[in-house]
Amino acid sequence: MDAIGCVVCCGSKEAPSDSWHCSNHVGINRLYYIHSGTGGYAHKGKLFQFAPGSLYYIPYTADFTPYCRKQDPIMHTYIDFELVPPIITDRILSLDAGSSESLCAAVNIFVLGGRMIGENHRDLSPLYADASFWELFKASVIYLTNQIAIANRIKKITDALVINALETIHARMNEKLTVNGLARDCYMNPDSFIRRFSRVVGVTPHAYLKNLRLCRARYLRESGMSLSQAANEVGYSDASALAHAMQTHDFKA
């Protein structure tokens, strides 16, 4: 069953014409709804234009650099989030949001959620404060990403063992997870499990878990959590171990 993991940021605002960027980190995807403006993105050496009224899904594996005209900046609603299981592709996926009534309804919920965050895009408390709307908002994001995948003929992960491993990694990253333990849960020997996971997901389970922990730790630190608390939340032994790992991988501790 599809699920939303950590939401790193969310909002509805004008894109900065001089510093608009999208950081690629394992497990963290981005969904855009383009309201208006002139801009686009660079992908694999080519430039593409954003179409107002369209949705764009940018998987963490994609080469993606957005831009917009200073004289006519892009107005967009966005979310950076974990999707479990992820959509495995290196393509930028798009979809006309006005192509069906159900899409329009889901977009309206998505945009409302983004506007609730306002300018303080790190503060998700307006959504969390209303549990019912938070669930509806997450359901809209899942629905929109699924519809984009279907429209672009992208096959989602169907390997039940890999899905089980991904769900475990996202749900229990604060525990002492090991590749051997994940393999054992899947009733596989470690070498076979690593090959199978890597073939489906694109990276080894160890690399996926490590990068996911660091991405979550960065979000927690930017949200005001102490280094010690963040270390406990993402499965590091102490603050110094987390600080070393973040600095080694160019994350600000």
Same domain, 95 and 164: no
Which residues in the chain land under pLDDT 50? none
Collect all residues with Cβ–Cβ distance below 8 Å to 223 and sequence separation of at least 6: 122
At 169, which CATH number?
A: 1.10.10.60
Q: Domain containing 242: what range?
A: 160-248
Residues near 58 by Cβ (< 8 Å), separated by ≥ 6?
A: 22, 29, 30, 31, 32, 64, 92
| CA angle in degrees (0–180, nearest 5) for 77-94-92 | 95
Give the amino acid at 149. A
Q: Rounded distance, CA 159 to CA 128, Å?
A: 32
Return the structure tokens found at 190: 């470690």
Left, alpha or beta for 96 (phi > 0: left; psi -120 to 50: alpha)? Answer: beta
State pLDDT tens for residues 171-190: 898 898 999 999 999 999 99
Identify whether 253 is part of a domain. no
Given 124, 151, 178, the domain boundary residue is 151
What pLDDT was estimated at residue 251?
56
Domain end call among 151, 182, 216 = 151
Nearest to 197 by CA among 223, 165, 171: 165
Helix (H) or strand (E) holding 95: strand 93-96
pTM of the model: 0.79
- Cβ–Cβ under 8 Å, residues 2 and 76: no
User: Do 66 and 129 fall into the same domain?
Assistant: yes
The CATH number given to whatever domain includes residue 28 is 2.60.120.280
Say whether both 12 and 103 belong to one domain.
yes
What is the 3 state secondary structure string of 160-175?
HHHHHHHHHHHHCCCC
101 falls within a domain? yes
